[in-house]
Each structure stands twice: as structure tokens, then as C-alpha cells.
Chains A and B, each alone.
Chain A
Amino acid sequence: MGILKAVRSTFKAGSADADLRLLKAIAAGDVTAFERLHGQYFPKLMHFAKRVIDNEEAAEEIANDTLMVVWRTADRFEGRSKPSSWIFGIAYRLALKQARSNGRHKGTVALEEDMAQDEQDTADAIMNQKDIHAALQQLTPELRAVVELTYYNGYLYKEIADILGCPVGTVKTRMMTARQRLHAMLSDDLPTYSENAVA
């Protein structure tokens, strides 16, 4: 538990109120405020995008494009969700668009149900490698995004629903699907994780 709490507290160091103040300043054209927001969010956005599309170069571009959208449209943020949810929502849509244009994915989670057999074919190889990265890459971008937002960013399911622009039930279903797929691909004896690794 300590690991995730550490990640979560690091991630949420900039509170929603502070983010909101930054967005207001950005809306007024304050470049210094934008630089601060950029410093806080760029690494997280790039990590998130990289997880969704598995390409570092494209992930950097997506993180940059996301922040430019924030710069241009900060005045239109209405506060219906947290600023971070709004920002990650933009990144999610850009990353999904990129994933689709890469032709690596056919579009919906429902379609992925039909691909379960193909995934199973690769399961043995992945189990041998115990490679969490390879296992995650077998998931659809939508499923990877939920896993990433839950376990890397520490978001609650309601916040993830805001980011993905979908119902809470969809978030839970996607997470359950991701868990089942990963469970099928990875052996249960994942190496025990050191709680001090990210402390």
C-alpha cells in the first residue's frame, strides 16, 4: 500500500485549487503560469501517453499537443471536473487518436473481446518472460489507460470516468477486463515488489 500512497501523494502534490489558479492565470495569457503547469504535468502526460501508445517520440508530441490545447483553451475550462482530469482527458483523446491512426487497434473494447483468442496465443511467451510491459501492450489502449490512471496516477474510478468521458460502470468493466487479461497472461508469482522503490 505504501508504494501507491507514495505515488499518489507525489502525483497530487499540486492540488486542484492550485491547478485552478494556474488555469485562470493561463487563461489571462500568463506564460509564467503556463510554464509552471508545464513543469508539473509534462512528465505525467508523457508517461501516460507512452503507456497508451507505446512510443516515446509520439508520447512527447502528444504531451506537447495536450499542453498547447490547455494554453489555447484554458479560458473555457468550466470546473465541472478537476483541472487534472480535464488535462488528462485531452491527453487521452489525443493518444487514442494516435493509437487508432497507427492502425494497431480497431476501435472499441467490445471488438477486443473477439481478439481474446489471439491474446491467449501469446500468453505462454509472456508468462515465461514475466514481462509486465509486454503484457500491458497486449491490452487495448482503452484498457491500458485505465490501468495506468489507476496504478500510476492513483485516480479514483469516478475521476477516471471524467478523464475518459465515460460512465463509471465502463471504467470498472474495463479495469476488470484488464485484470482478467493480465491475470491470464502473467503468472501469479510476480516478483515481490520492494515498497521502498518509489519512496
Chain B
Amino acid sequence: MLDRRPLLPTDSHEGIMELVPWYVNGSLPKDEADAVKRHALTCPACADEIARQRRLAGHVATEEAFEAPVARSWETLRDRIASENRVRQPAFSLWTWLRQHQAGMMLSGVGAAACVLVAVMMMPTNADFRTLTASGTAANDTIKFQTTPGVSASELQSVLGKYGLELESGPSKAGVYTTKAKSGTDLAALSKSLMSSPEIIFAAPAE
């Protein structure tokens, strides 16, 4: 298959021929660069190919110079960030607030903790109860991802279905979705596979 063939050895003519572009762009590690150089000394075909690729590289590297509108782009992005921040504004970070008021709360915290402990002990237990933000083991099986713009719900379902995933929530205000994988799944590998789909821009295991 085109994408899965074994790599050619670098001591073969074909293997050297494949390395030529990266010899030309100067990125090859020294051992591979030396191998190309040695081979080209006795192989006119590879020497010609090096010369041809240098000419091509020169064209690609300098062709179509255009003025990138950096200032306009930054204005656009700054506006987008400001707009997203406004939407997020009401969000209240309890953790940040607690850290800011840590010292003052120390004393009263001890008393409060005692009250909470008593209240918890008196509460009826329900093993199935779980808050949305609870970080039990289930949270370890979730993946966060973002889609490319314009992906329809059916396209998204189709992509997730291909990997045996179900949409758990999303999109958030920032356009992030959450999906849950089967327990024991290699989330990093699954995230990588998910990103190979053109509909998915980014995917990573939830923290």
C-alpha cells in the first residue's frame, strides 16, 4: 500500500534518491547527508537530481512573495479573544477566589469543615449521584476536541461513530466538545487517530 511500504535503506540508490530533497534543504542528519554526498559522487543520476531539486527549491523558496496582513489579522484575533472573554466573564472560579482569600478563611474554614463533615455524615447515600464537575474515574475516559468550521452534526456523529465514541457534551463557548471513550482505551492514541480525520482540528485526553 502506498502509505505503508517499508522505508528504503539509505545505502541503496532508491533510498538515496528519496533523501535528496532533505539533503537539498539542509535538514538531513549528518550521517544521512554524508551518505547522499558519497553516493552522488559516483551516481550521475542522483547528482542530476540534486541539481534539479536545488533549482526547484530555489523557486519554491522565493516564489510568490506577498505582503501578509499581519496587523489586520491581529486586530481580528484580538477582537475574537475579547468577544470570547466577554462571554466567559460570568464564569466564577471558586478555586481562584479561595486562593485569594486563603489567609482570612483559614480560621473560619476549620469550623466550617466540621459543619460540613457532620452534614455529610447525616446525608442519605446514593452511589449513582455524580455532579457534572465531579472528577471520578469516568472523567479519565474523556477526550476534548475541536472541529473544523462548518462540520454538521451528522458529520460529527459519523466521525465519532467510526472510533466508537459518543458525544458527551459541547460545543462549549470556545467550541470545545467532550466525548467519552470506553474504559481502558489508550486515550492519547485515540486522540491522535481522531485528529487524522479532516473534520477534527485538535483532540486530547481531558485532564
Contacts and interface: CB of A to CB of B under 8 A. Distances in A.
Contacts of A148: 60
A193 B55 contact: yes
Contact of B146 (A38, A42, A72, A147): A72
A136 to B, nearest CB: 8
Contacts of A173: 2-3, 5
A3 B58 contact: yes
Interface string A143-175: 000011011101111010000011111101101
A38 B77 contact: yes
B185 interface: no
A159 B39 CA distance: 24
B202 A76 contact: yes
Interface string B20-53: 0110111111000000000000000000010011
A69 B201 contact: yes
Contact of B195 (A7, A31, A78, A93): A93
Contacts of A63: 68, 73
A71 B77 contact: yes
Contacts of A172: 7-8, 18
B55 A190 contact: yes
Given A4-B26, A151-B57, A154-B27, A72 B174 contact: yes
Contacts of A13: none
Contact of B81 (A42, A71, A73, A186): A71
A72 B176 CA distance: 9
A1 B22 contact: no
B4 interface: yes
A62 to B, nearest CB: 10
B33 to A, nearest CB: 11
A179 interface: yes
Given A72-B146, A93-B198, A35 B74 contact: yes
A171 B25 CA distance: 15
Nearest to A110: B2
A8 B23 CA distance: 13
A197 interface: yes
Nearest to A109: B2
A38 B80 CA distance: 14
B146 A8 contact: no
Contact of A169 (B4, B24, B78, B201): B4
A43 B62 contact: no
Interface of A: 1, 3-5, 7-8, 31, 34-35, 38-39, 42-43, 46-47, 50, 56, 60, 63-65, 67-69, 71-73, 76, 78, 89-90, 93-94, 96-97, 100-101, 109-110, 132-133, 136, 147-148, 150-152, 154-157, 159, 165-170, 172-173, 175-176, 179, 182-183, 186, 188, 190, 192-193, 195, 197-198
19 contacts: A1-B54, A4-B57, A38-B74, A39-B70, A47-B68, A50-B64, A50-B66, A64-B73, A72-B146, A93-B195, A93-B198, A101-B150, A150-B22, A151-B21, A152-B60, A152-B61, A156-B28, A156-B29, A169-B4
